Amino acid sequence: MSGLYEELKQQVAQERGVALATLVRSSSGQGIGAKLLVFPDKRFHGSFGFPELEARVVEDAEQAIWIGEPGTRLYTLGEETFEVFIEGFPPPPRLIIVGAGHIAIPLTTFARTLGYRVVVIDARAAFATRERFPHADELIVAWPDEVLVRMDLNPSTAVAILTHDPKFDEPSLKVVLSRPVGYVGAIGSRKTSQERNERLKQQGLTDEQLSRIHAPIGLNIGAKTPEEMALAIMAEIVASRYGKDRSAILDWSRK
Amino acid sequence: MRDILPDVERWRARGERVAVATVVSVAGSAPRRPGAKLAVSEKGEISGSVSGGCVEPAVIETALQVIKDGKPQMLEFGISEEENFEQIGLACGGTIHVFVERLDW
């Protein structure tokens, strides 16, 4: 007993994200069944007995934490080949909604139904109330960027920025775009989004960072009511989680 | 993994040894995806599934062996349709690899 199983269980229970790599085949027959437990900061426990192989597997396993799609990979080291089964255990997906307005209410319901943890943040106490958001996992009345900066924002996190107010939206975007979040969407027309991008660029954000913003937020399904807009946003979040861009969504020939 | 955990914990709490079988690769269509797991206790109780029933008996037999000798095994299942009658195979014609190991790590 090396204790990796206990550690894996603990890491999963604490919703921190972890990957497990198992050596399932090797051309020499050596090391079969050996395991590495890989953490989000690329620390790992366990051993395969081949340091060079370990380094390469850790690299792939760290990515796999967030994808959560298990699979076997082939590695070649000189004459030897190895098959390693890598399994990611991402934390449960989480949606952070900045701005507790009328779209945020149905968005909270949809996200909860799809298994997301939902955090709603708004500085305006009149908006962020339990009466309006009975199903939110967390309801925080504070300046959104000050809350976001203290949160663990990882690839399992989606952020929908919905306040319509640059004094909340823009500082929030600056925090979120400096972290490896899985999805960032911001409300506003194409014109508003373009103007916002100009301002953020002047404040030092790069084109690469700005290109990560989904704006106008949501898929173009013709949404008119708050509920329909929430549906468009949630559908986009799901698509982005599975690596689909907007152009791939109606194309069944693309994976 | 999450689906088998409660049963695995129960068996281990009773002091039983456990083997875990995992689908590690799939070619063609197969009933379960890579990552699907079947856990087997020393007394032959099972939890989870690797194929929705077609290959479970063979996997359980191997798992009980692996619990005894501690040597991990790689199993391959999947045969052509004409051979499918009365043999272990997948109804839908794919090939799967199942890795069976003792939970002693």
Q: Cβ of A247: how many Cβ atoms within 10 Å?
A: 8
In this predicted structure, the answer to whether residue B34 has a pLDDT above a threshold of 80 is yes
Mutate to test the interface with B, among A32, A36, A47 (most CBs of B within 10 A): A32
Q: Would the CB atoms of B72 and A70 count as touching at under 8 Å?
A: no
Residue of chain A minimizing CA distance to B66: A33
Q: What is the pLDDT of residue B82?
A: 46
Q: What is the pLDDT of residue A252?
A: 81
Q: How far apart are CA A248 and CA A239, in angstroms?
A: 9
Q: pLDDT per residue over A178-223, tens digit each?
A: 999 999 999 999 999 999 999 999 999 999 999 999 999 999 999 9
| Confidence at A253, pLDDT banded by 50, 70, 90 | confident
Whether A163 maps to a domain, the answer reads: yes
Total of domains in chain A: 2
In this predicted structure, the answer to whether residue A234 has a pLDDT above a threshold of 50 is yes
Q: What residues of chain A lie within 8 A of the CB of B104, using their CB? A: 1
User: Mind telling me how many Å the CA of B36 is from chain A's nearest CA?
Assistant: 9
| Confidence at B11, pLDDT banded by 50, 70, 90 | very high
Q: How far apart are CA A5 and CA A10, in angstroms?
A: 9
Q: Are residues A75 and A146 in the same domain?
A: no
Mean pLDDT of chain A: 94
Q: How far apart are CA A217 and CA A95, in angstroms?
A: 14
| Confidence at A128, pLDDT banded by 50, 70, 90 | very high
Q: Would the CB atoms of B33 and A5 count as touching at under 8 Å?
A: no
Q: Which residue has the higher pLDDT, A16 or B23?
A: B23
User: Tell me, what amino acid is at B77?
Assistant: F
Q: What residues of chain A lie within 8 A of the CB of B1, using their CB? A: 12, 87, 89
Q: What is the pLDDT of residue B95?
A: 87
All residues at 6 or more sequence positions from B32 whose CB lies less than 8 Å from its CB, including other chains: B23, B26, B49, B50, B51, B52, B96
User: What is the CATH classification number for the domain harbouring A113?
Assistant: 3.40.50.720
Last residue of a domain, one of A39, A70, A89: A89
Q: Would the CB atoms of A89 and B101 count as touching at under 8 Å?
A: no
Q: pLDDT per residue over B41-54, tens digit each?
A: 999 999 999 987 77
Last residue of a domain, one of A89, A119, A141: A89
User: Mind telling me how many Å the CA of A49 is from chain B's nearest CA?
Assistant: 15
Instruction: Report, as an integer, the average pLDDT of B2-27.
Output: 94
Q: How far apart are CA A243 and CA A252, in angstroms?
A: 14
Q: Are residues A10 and A51 in the same domain?
A: yes
In this predicted structure, the answer to whether residue B84 has a pLDDT above a threshold of 70 is no
Q: Are residues A224 and A151 in the same domain?
A: yes
- Nearest CB to B74 within list A25, A87, A89: A25
In this predicted structure, the answer to whether residue A48 has a pLDDT above a threshold of 50 is yes
Q: What is the pLDDT of residue A240?
A: 92
Q: Is the ipTM of this complex over 0.85?
A: yes
Q: Are residues A17 and A81 in the same domain?
A: yes
Q: Are residues A151 and A202 in the same domain?
A: yes
Q: What is the pLDDT of residue A247?
A: 78
Pair A233, A227: CB distance under 8 Å: no
Q: What is the pLDDT of residue A255?
A: 65
Whether A223 maps to a domain, the answer reads: yes
Q: Which residue bears the tokens 């990552």?
A: B35
Size of interface A-B (CB pairs under 8 A): 46
Q: pLDDT per residue over A96-114, tens digit each?
A: 999 999 999 999 999 999 9
Q: Does residue A83 sit in helix, strand or coil?
A: strand
By percentage, how much of chain A surpasses pLDDT 90?
Answer: 87
Q: Would the CB atoms of B34 and A35 count as touching at under 8 Å?
A: no
Q: Are residues A184 and A82 in the same domain?
A: no
Q: What is the pLDDT of residue A244?
A: 84
